[in-house]
Structure 1
Amino acid sequence: MIVVNARFLTQRTTGIQRFATEITRELMALRDDLVLAVPHGPFDDAGLDRGRIVEVGRLRGHGWEQIDLPLFARRGRHPVVNLTSTGPVWYRPQISTHHDITYVRHPESFGLRFRTLYALVVPRLIAHSARLLTVSAFSRDEIAGHFGVAPERFTVIHNGVDDRFRPAPTERGRPYLLAVSSPNAHKNFARMMSAFAAFSPAHPDVELRVVGTQTNSFARQRYDDAHDRVRFLGRVDDAELAALYRGALAFVFPSLYEGFGIPPIEAQQCGCPVIAARAASLPEVLGESALFVDPYDTDDLAAAMSRLVDDEPLRARLIEAGHANAARFSWRRSAERVSQVIDEVLAER
């Protein structure tokens, strides 16, 4: 039996939880030896087979992960698979996933408690894991370099894109640019809104729509001086998000640091051209399929907004390139690679 650390089902969905949920969904279709362990109490099953979900222990949160989860797995010395960035630090055998080290590179985006916890848990989890997973070659090299481990210990498992994100007929209303993320410091939203303010006088009909809210782990950022054509939409479901991608003139992703970056791929699969920062993993993930900008240069970002709004042939070329790029990523193919890693750990036992 393989125990999946399914604490992510008790958490708000961000990119990391999306990865964990979709990889688990595909693994359950590929294998019949998985059990999903969750803390007692409310959780969202995300459409996963409840017959394979087991409520374990009495604790919640990190206490559950460090005490109740390993006690449950130890009864049969079952391997544990962690698909988010934390896990039971002393348990063996286990496979752990580390998405990035944003909390190291951009500590201003995170609260002290979060940074302290990760500083304690992550190095020990890396040291005690039989296999390590991460989401890009960029993250592999970043994590390996920071923690002093061999890059060869990591298997790169890319994110995928849900089939709900696809082209469909869309009624065009007021034109808008779209951004999707938590508005925290490393996401670079302050520069994006300064760029939009510079872009706006020549494009008086275009709005900037921002989807997403902050989680409790992040230090709060405020945007009280936002342009009057910036609309904060909060959290939306996948159907609403797909519709927003389809209707946008362009998707703007100015983030300074990403381990992978799922939203640009979702946008591309919906037929939306992408403006992206030339930073971190984004050139690796997007290749030649996006209009890249210097994320620290608001003039460059404003110029890119103008180019995509005004240049229809450029938009068409990026839409076509985006479709081809998004097709490179698949939750099923990624889960097959995770399954191979599980089989390697089982063989070693």
Structure 2
Amino acid sequence: MASAVIKAFNQEPDIYPFTPQLSPASKAEYGSKSLDFLYVASGEAHKNHITLLAAWERLAMSGLKPSLGLTLSACDAARFEAPLRSARSAGAMIELLPLRSAEEMPELYASARAAIYPSLFESFGLPLIEAKAAGLPIIAAERDYVRDLVDPVETFDPTSENSIARAVRRYLRQPTDRIEILNAKGLLVKLRQNK
């Protein structure tokens, strides 16, 4: 954003924080972590919930079932009923979380082990800053808006459920969904399993 201001106005911008300072919460303060991953976002299409739910379904079908918390209003959740039902029927552990006030956000972030952010684009991306301030590892779309704000521990192509699932697997240090064989010349060949 700072680069865009410089380019548009030929002037160095002044940068001010506008999010409350969140500090990593201790287990004693908020209890144990109840979610493996947390996605703080409203339900607009560019937030990319459908691809994220497809990735969680793919993970569950392969036997990996990390929990995922989504902050969706009842109206937004209703729009994702079919992909949510499909993912859950595959065994995916997905929890719809009630909307929180700004004062309740530190507790929400403290309940998660990591943040995931598959949004296709953002004008800013406040949840990324909040997750970073709360000390959460961030797995996010490989997009410029992400890199403008944070350095994620893993990235993925947000248009690909396979890429999202693989990034989650890498973060969890789980085997990939490929098999390796030696070809007739003794060279290592990697083949993707069709699941």
What is the TM-score when the length of structure 1 is the normalising length? Answer: 0.41
Cα deviation, residue 139, structure 1: 5.2
Bigger radius of gyration? 1
Give 5+ residue unaligned stretches, structure 2. Answer: 175-195
Contact 1:184–1:221, Cα closer than 8 Å, also in 2 = no
| Structure 1 residues 190 and 247: CA distance shift in structure 2, 3 A | same
2:64 is the counterpart of 1:203: yes
Contact 2:118–2:158, Cα closer than 8 Å, also in 1 = yes
Structure with a larger share of its residues in helix = 1
Which residue pairs with 1:157 in the alignment? 15
Which residue pairs with 2:182 in the alignment? none
Q: Which structure is higher in RCO with an 8 Å CA cutoff and minimum separation 6?
A: 2
Give 5+ residue unaligned stretches, structure 1. Answer: 1-135, 145-149, 312-349
Contact 2:33–2:113, Cα closer than 8 Å, also in 1 = no
- Find the aligned partners of 1:250 and 1:220 in 2 and give their Cα distance: 22
Contact 2:38–2:112, Cα closer than 8 Å, also in 1 = yes
Contact 2:37–2:113, Cα closer than 8 Å, also in 1 = yes
Contact 1:139–1:259, Cα closer than 8 Å, also in 2 = no
CA RMSD of aligned residues (A): 3.0
How big is each residue's C-alpha offset from its partner over 1:29-72, in whole Å with a ceiling of 9 and x where there is no partner? xxxxxxxxxxxxxxxxxxxxxxxxxxxxxxxxxxxxxxxxxxxx
2:115 is the counterpart of 1:255: no
How big is each residue's C-alpha offset from its partner over 1:129-169, in whole Å with a ceiling of 9 and x where there is no partner? xxxxxxx236548xx7xxxxx44268363544312x21122
Aligned ranges 1:169-248 → 2 under 5 Å: 169-170=26-27, 171-172=31-32, 174-200=34-60, 201-204=62-65, 206-213=66-73, 222-225=79-82, 226=84, 227-228=87-88, 229-248=93-112
2:166 is the counterpart of 1:303: yes
3-state SS of 2:158 partner: coil
2:136 is the counterpart of 1:272: yes
Aligned ranges 1:80-95 → 2 under 5 Å: none
Contact 2:121–2:143, Cα closer than 8 Å, also in 1 = yes
What is the one-letter code of the residue matched to 2:96?
F
What is the one-letter code of the residue matched to 1:275?
I
3-state SS of 1:195 partner: helix
Contact 2:156–2:167, Cα closer than 8 Å, also in 1 = yes
- Residue identity over aligned pairs, in percent, reads 25
What is the one-letter code of the residue matched to 2:2?
A
Cα deviation, residue 282, structure 1: 1.4
3-state SS of 1:281 partner: helix
- Find the aligned partners of 1:274 and 1:191 in 2 and give their Cα distance: 18
Structure with a larger share of its residues in strand = 2
3-state SS of 1:230 partner: strand
Cα deviation, residue 210, structure 1: 0.7
3-state SS of 1:155 partner: coil
Which residue pairs with 2:186 in the alignment? none
